[in-house]
């Protein structure tokens, strides 16, 4: 028997802490602030929470039992994932399935991160991931000194530029668009305007990635509360339904920092558009790609925005660098993306800031960032996972 998950669950409450660098609060304290705000937003109490999806810590963080103890929760269902942007979708999917199958009634998806407070800078002295024996999952290769995630995406973008003729000036359209969006977000860390000249003058991190092509390193927390569609109708806020989902892709043809078919790592060198599994979320939600009013993605690095557009078929292989020009992904454009500034300009809270922004958009309370007539919004990443939300 196959269980239909379309519109069976919804996000009913969202909350966050402050976002910033070297915040004094611990991960637990940041998460507590966000959880309290989410409960108030939904009109729920701690006693209503009987499930948690924990997305905390880097590389070793706070376990679910410590979270439950500290927050005074009594839970009967738990999902815990490592703090990667890849697992935003997994946490939401697990929460949706738990409430749809009766394993929990109300699940708090809790994300808290203290990059700067704990000095765990990716690729730096405090980062254990990049120095694992077999390398990290971003293409790190310690024997060659490649221990930072930027190295893997730089390899992918170098190959992409060599094949398709894309330029750094074209890539700049991504961080420039997201900086414009951040200037409209009171929560965003980066408020200073960015010009093409600013982008091109920023220092090179790993060729071809300049400083403004790389995400912020910040502290903060974000919480989203998921419950059944039936219960959601009786709560304080307008429900944001989880309509379609597809899972994380993995295998020899997958490298998280390059499109399929680009020939990186063990990939085949056979460029191709999306396959059926890359479009499953649309079919589950009962919509077409053209119905998506805005796209949100894990923008740890600017090239990932190009790669997700091609993965989902918004444009063909090698076309994304040109496709994003002319304000196309800005507010008012054909496909607004990351309208609160994303990881590049709002904050790095594991991508959950974009989930909160999706909820605000679908509630119609995003203010000057509001996408007109937004009914379906999509979260998706360059490595194939996705969730489609509707109001």
Annotate 346-385 with b (16+ C-beta within 10 A) or e (fewer).
Answer: bbbbbbbbbbbbbbbbbbeebeebbbeebebbbbbbbbbb
Q: What's the mean pLDDT in 118-124?
A: 53
Rounded to 10 deg, the angle between the 87-100 and 352-363 helix axes is: 60
Q: Any residues with CB less than 8 A from the CB of 144 and at least 6 apart, and which?
A: none
pLDDT of residue 250: 86
Whether residue 171 is predicted with pLDDT greater than 70 in this model: the reply is: yes
Beta bridge mates, 51: 77, 107
List the domains of the chain with CATH numbers: 9-119+218-237 (3.40.47.10), 151-214+242-390 (3.40.47.10)
pLDDT of residue 117: 67
Ramachandran bin of 128, using left for φ above 0, alpha for ψ from -120 to 50, beta for the remaining angles: alpha
Q: What's the mean pLDDT in 208-231?
A: 96
Q: CA–CA separation, 79 vs 298, rounded Å?
A: 21
Q: Find out whether 218 and 347 touch, Cβ atoms under 8 Å.
A: yes
Q: Find out whether 378 and 295 touch, Cβ atoms under 8 Å.
A: yes
Whether residue 328 is predicted with pLDDT greater than 50 in this model: the reply is: yes
Tell me how far the alpha carbon of residue 143 is from its chain's centroid. 30
Radius of gyration of the chain from its Cα atoms, rounded to whole angstroms:
20
Beta-carbon count within 10 A of 277 CB: 11
387-149-138-208 Cα dihedral, nearest 10 degrees: 90
pLDDT of residue 85: 72
pLDDT of residue 372: 94
- pLDDT-derived band at 115, boundaries 50, 70, 90: confident
| Placement of tokens 């999917």 in the chain | 93
51-56 vs 219-228, strand pairing mode: unpaired
Q: CA–CA separation, 313 vs 284, rounded Å?
A: 17
- pLDDT-derived band at 214, boundaries 50, 70, 90: very high
Whether residue 219 is predicted with pLDDT greater than 90 in this model: the reply is: yes
Q: Find out whether 42 and 225 touch, Cβ atoms under 8 Å.
A: yes
Q: What's the mean pLDDT in 265-292?
A: 92
Q: How high is the mean pLDDT of the chain?
A: 91
What does pTM read for this prediction?
A: 0.94
The better pLDDT of the pair 254, 142 is held by 254
pLDDT of residue 1: 43
Beta-carbon count within 10 A of 10 CB: 28
CA angle 380, 305, 199 (to 5 degrees): 150
Structure tokens at 257: 């920092």
pLDDT of residue 246: 95
Reference 381, options 349, 337, 321; nearest CA is: 337
């Amino acid at each position: 028997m196959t269980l239909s998950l379309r519109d069976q669950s919804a996000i009913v409450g969202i909350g966050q802490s402050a976002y910033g660098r070297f915040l004094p609060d611990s991960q637990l304290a940041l998460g507590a602030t966000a959880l309290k705000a989410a409960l108030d937003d939904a009109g729920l109490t701690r006693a209503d929470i009987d499930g948690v999806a924990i997305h905390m810590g880097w590389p070793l963080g706070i376990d679910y039992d410590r979270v439950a103890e500290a927050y005074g929760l009594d839970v009967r269902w738990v999902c815990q994932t490592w703090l990667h942007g890849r697992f935003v979708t997994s946490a939401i999917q697990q929460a949706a399935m738990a409430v749809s199958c009766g394993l929990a009634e109300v699940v708090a998806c809790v994300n808290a991160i203290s990059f700067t407070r704990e000095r765990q800078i990716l690729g730096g002295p405090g980062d254990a991931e990049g120095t694992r024996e077999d390398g990290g999952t971003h293409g790190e290769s310690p024997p060659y000194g490649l221990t930072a995630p930027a190295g893997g995406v730089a390899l992918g973008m170098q190959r992409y530029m060599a094949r398709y003729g894309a330029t750094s000036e074209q890539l700049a359209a991504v961080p420039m668009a997201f900086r414009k969006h951040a200037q409209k977000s009171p929560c965003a860390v980066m408020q200073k305007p960015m010009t093409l000249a600013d982008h091109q003058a920023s220092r090179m991190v790993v060729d071809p990635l300049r400083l403004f092509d790389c995400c912020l390193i910040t502290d903060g927390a974000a919480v989203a509360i998921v419950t059944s569609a039936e219960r959601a109708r009786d709560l304080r806020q307008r429900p944001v339904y989880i309509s379609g989902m597809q899972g994380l892709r993995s295998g020899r043809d997958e490298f998280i920092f390059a499109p399929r078919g680009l020939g990186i790592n063990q990939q085949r060198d056979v460029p191709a558009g999306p396959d059926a599994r890359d479009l499953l979320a649309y079919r589950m939600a009962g919509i077409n790609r053209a119905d998506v009013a805005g796209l949100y993605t894990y923008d740890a690095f600017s090239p990932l925005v190009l790669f997700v557009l091609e993965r989902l078929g918004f444009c063909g292989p090698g076309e994304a660098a040109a496709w994003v020009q002319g304000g196309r992904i800005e507010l008012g454009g054909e496909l607004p993306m990351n309208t609160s500034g994303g990881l590049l300009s709002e904050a790095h809270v594991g991508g959950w800031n974009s989930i909160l922004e999706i909820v605000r958009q679908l509630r119609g309370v995003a203010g000057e960032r509001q996408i007109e007539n937004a009914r379906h919004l999509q979260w998706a990443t360059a490595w194939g996972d996705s969730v489609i939300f509707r109001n």
